[in-house]
Amino acid sequence: MKDADRALVVAVTTRAVFDAAAGDVYGMGVAFPLLQSLQKVNERLLEKNPAESLLFDVVLIATDSQQQSSRIISSTSHYGLEVGRFCFSSREDLVETLVVNNVQLFLSTDRDEALQVSQKGVLSALLGRQEAPSESLRVMLCGDAIVRPDCDPVPASRGAAQSFSARLGEMRGRFGVSGSPLSIVLVTSSGGSKSCGVALQTLRSRGLSVDEAYCLAGAPRGPILSLLRPHFLLGDGVIDLED
């Protein structure tokens, strides 16, 4: 198990990772490319420093009683997925399970589930659809949230988002400008180039350097999102990736 204090704990629902299928092994779900990308980041981090402690620690959470625990575990090992922990919980206990396991980011394909978690202060995001495996883990940040520090009420997961992005920045900093297995993409939807500049500066002051930046100034997000193919998008609350 990874160093509890230093690892970046990411929880994913088993429903997102595995598709129901006949036989002993589940099919690959939406979250598969994400897990592979997280793994690749860990591999590259350990390549640079075998004693690296700032790694992704993946927790699989099953809230779906439809999926059998034994099949989840055997499927995980069948695909060679590196999972730190399995948590067999229920929908009602989900948030508590996340908190107890020190989860810093919760990923789901279920919007209601993600919202419920986010409202309790745990950083949560929806998984993006990946058509093909990508070369890097692509994390998208919504700049509008960064530039709007004083909205009322302050989103519950704001604090969690800020500390997550600081850790992510530290992780990104282990790699050079090109060839990184982790890409940080900033998108600002409204607001012009000045706003985006403020977002870039704010993120940098938190230790997070951005690789790609897109300032839409009101242009629709959909066409850009389908080009950017993020694995997930972080912003205030939970944001839909299909615009």
Partner 1 sequence: MGRWRSPPTPTQKTQTSEYGRPNPKPENAVTIGVSARVLFNMETEQQIYERQGLEEYIKYQVEHETQPFTPGPAFSFVKALEAVNAQLRELYPESEELFDVVLMTNNHAYVGLRLINTINHHQLFIERFCMTGGNSPIGYLKAYHTNLYLSADPVKVREALEEGIAAATMFTPEKMAEVSESQLRVAFDGDAVLFSDESERIYKAHGLDKFFEHEKAHENKLLDHGPLKGFLEALGKLQKKFYGKGQRMECPIRTYLVTARSAASSGTRALKTLRSWGLEIDEALFMAGAPKGPMLEKIRPHIFFDDQMFHVEGAAEMGTVACHVPYGVAQGVTKREMNGRETSSAPK
The reply to whether 212 sits near partner 1 by the rule CB under 8 A is yes
The reply to whether 218 sits near partner 1 by the rule CB under 8 A is yes
CA atoms within 13 A on the CB side of 19: 7
Instruction: Please select the residue that binds partner 1; options are 17, 83, 123, 200, rule is CB under 8 A.
Output: 200
The residue (of 124 and 183) whose beta carbon lies closer to partner 1 is 183
Instruction: Please select the residue that binds partner 1; options are 1, 70, 150, 178, rule is CB under 8 A.
Output: 178
Q: Map residue 60 onto helix, strand or coil.
A: strand
The residue (of 215 and 238) whose beta carbon lies closer to partner 1 is 215
Q: How many CB atoms lie within 10 A of CB 17?
A: 29
The residue (of 75 and 180) whose beta carbon lies closer to partner 1 is 180
**Which listed range, 28-36, 40-48, 155-163, 176-184, lies at the site for partner 1 (CB under 8 A)?**
176-184
- 29-to-16, 20, 21, 49, 80 alpha-carbon distances in Å: 6, 9, 11, 31, 15
The reply to whether 90 sits near partner 1 by the rule CB under 8 A is no
Q: Smallest distance, Å, CB 217 to partner 1?
A: 4
| Whether 108 contacts 8, CB under 8 Å | no
30, two tokens = 């939406």
| Residue pointed to by tokens 């009602």 | 92
| Whether 221 contacts 243, CB under 8 Å | yes
Return residues touching partner 1 (CB under 8 A): 176-178, 183, 185-186, 190-197, 200-201, 209-220, 223-224, 227
